[in-house]
Amino acid sequence: MAGRLSWGLGDQAVSSLTNFAVGLFVARSLGTFAFGMFSLAWVTYGVVLNISRGMATDPMMVRFSAVPEESWRRAVSSAAGTAIGVGLVTGLISVLAGALAVQPLGGVFIALGAVLPGLMLQDAWRFALFAKGDGKKAFVNDTVWGVALIPALAIASHFGTVVAFVLAWGLAGAVAAVYGLFQTGIVPRLSEMKGWLKDQRDLSVRYLIENVSNAGSSQLRAYGLGAIAGITAVGAVRGAEQLLGPFLALLMGLSLTTVAEGARVLRHAPHRLKHFCVVLGGGQAGAALLWGLGLLLLVPHDVGRWIMGSVWDAAEPLILPVTLSVTAAGFTAGAAAGLRALGAAKRSLRAQLVASAGYVVFGIFGAYLDGAEGAAWGSMLSVWLGAALWWYQLRVAYREYRPPAPEPAALRTNDEEVGTV
């Protein structure tokens, strides 16, 4: 388990630190207002990514982790095709929205729409490789993306626009997506999207709603903050969140493997699942708190301004509430992994919907009271309330769980071996 988790951390470290570097580069190059536009595109990408995961890769992680090779390959082909389909549909919507929006924001969404299919496929390869237990290849794939970004950003810097940076980031991801075809030797089948969604609908519908409510709440808060306090305020909040990027690499890296590992714990030692979730959530919360306090206490103002340019001035007062928010999110991640491993999609969906609604309401109300700073503190309060709800739902789901009765190996069919956890 330690080895698989280590590769998850390493992979997400490459992915998140690459995105961290892109964000800093845009912030330094273009200023707070342009960084606000980039942030609106970024949170929209996050929504699409969560749609793809809910429909394609989350069910694959739950049902096709540690299964026979042939079953895994069939599932990956269908799930990757579904991810491409999500990217094509949402990409078209983004292009149409960009054509109707005011400039220069419209051009940013047109550029985002063009790169979404490749980005969704790249993310699907990562989840597929971790489901197989081959995190090393996922690490290599994200490294390819990072290397491809170097010349892409160099070219984008000559144009000096948000559109150029969105295209550079997205096309570099597409290079990694193509490389994933050679790593896995699997051809995504878009034609199997309908069949995949039909077969996985008992999980995918709930995971889709859960994921979209999670990412959509960030998007709605960003749009609401922009409407109330302006796009510059969006850039300020995103700038503070950007400073937590290295820790978010830890949070997201573990999330790639924790569901699969939780499923393994549940199969072999169900009584240890609670301990697994507590250690996971507590460790991530502690790491987030230490990182954020380190930023506050150890980074001088002049150094911060050198790193982020003028964005630092607006982001610095928001570091404390954003740190506390991410601390709560780290604690919540332990409960979320447990609920996914238990297959308690109904309870995790309930927790996510309530938490997301609170995030939007508290964040926008805070923005109304005190702009970017009010939004950050309001969001922090909602995330801690949501954490309490997640852990309550895990406690109830664990009490309700009944291990399946053992079956003779001779009577077990291949389909049953790849069934739900």
Encode pLDDT of 296-306 as tens digits.
767 777 777 77
Per-residue pLDDT averaged across 213-240, rounded? 73
Is the Cα dihedral 402, 406, 411, 414 positive or negative? Answer: positive
Q: What is the pLDDT of residue 288?
A: 81
Q: For residue 404, what pLDDT band results from cuts at 50, 70 and 90?
A: low
Least confident of 130-134, 168-172, 257-261: 257-261
The yes-or-no verdict on residue 310 having pLDDT over 90 is no
Q: What is the pLDDT of residue 6?
A: 61
Least confident of 22-36, 138-152, 191-205: 22-36
Residue-averaged pLDDT of the chain = 79
The b-or-e profile of 209-241 (16+ CB within 10 A means b, else e) is bbbbbbbbbbbbbbbbbbebbbbbbbbbbbbbb
Look up tokens 């998140």; give the residue: 16
* Relative orientation angle of helices 319-342 and 231-243, to the nearest 10 degrees: 70
| pLDDT (mean) for 215-240 | 74
- The token pair that represents 94 in the structure block: 């983004």
SS3 93: helix
Task: Determine the pLDDT at residue 11.
Answer: 66
What whole-number distance in Å separates Cα of residue 226 and Cα of residue 385?
Answer: 25
Residues 179 and 141: beta-carbon distance below 8 Å:
yes
**250 vs 224: CA distance, rounded Å:** 29
> At residue 218, what is the residue type?
S
Whether the per-residue pLDDT at 410 is higher than 50: the answer is: no
Handedness of CA 134, 140, 146, 148 (dihedral sign): negative
**pLDDT on residue 411:** 39
Please state the length of the chain. 421
Scan for tokens 């709605």, then name that residue: 220
Predicted local distance difference test score (pLDDT) of residue 254: 60
Average pLDDT over residues 286-308: 76
pLDDT score recorded for residue 259: 64
Mean pLDDT value across residues 110-134? 89
CA distance 392 to 135: 32
Residue with tokens 């096309």: 171
Torsion region of 242: left, alpha or beta (phi above 0 gives left; psi -120 to 50 gives alpha): alpha
Cα–Cα distance measured from residue 178 to residue 181, given in angstroms and rounded to the nearest whole number: 5
CA distance 288 to 333: 12
Residue 85 pLDDT exceeds 90: yes
- Cis previous bond, 188, omega within 30: no
Cα four-point dihedral sign 232, 34, 248, 61: positive
**3-class secondary-structure state, position 160:** coil
What is the per-residue pLDDT for 359? 83
pLDDT in tens, 230-277: 777 777 777 777 777 666 656 665 665 666 666 667 666 767 777 778
> Of 10-14, 113-117, 186-190, 271-275, where does mean pLDDT reach its minimum?
10-14
Please report, to the nearest 10 degrees, the dihedral formed by the alpha carbons of residues 72, 74, 80, 86 taken in order.
-120
Question: Looking at the predicted structure, is the pLDDT value of residue 178 above 90?
Answer: yes
What value does the mean pLDDT take over residues 123-150? 86
What pLDDT was estimated at residue 91? 93
Q: Provide the whole-model pTM.
A: 0.66
Task: List helix spans (H) across 343-413.
Answer: 345-400
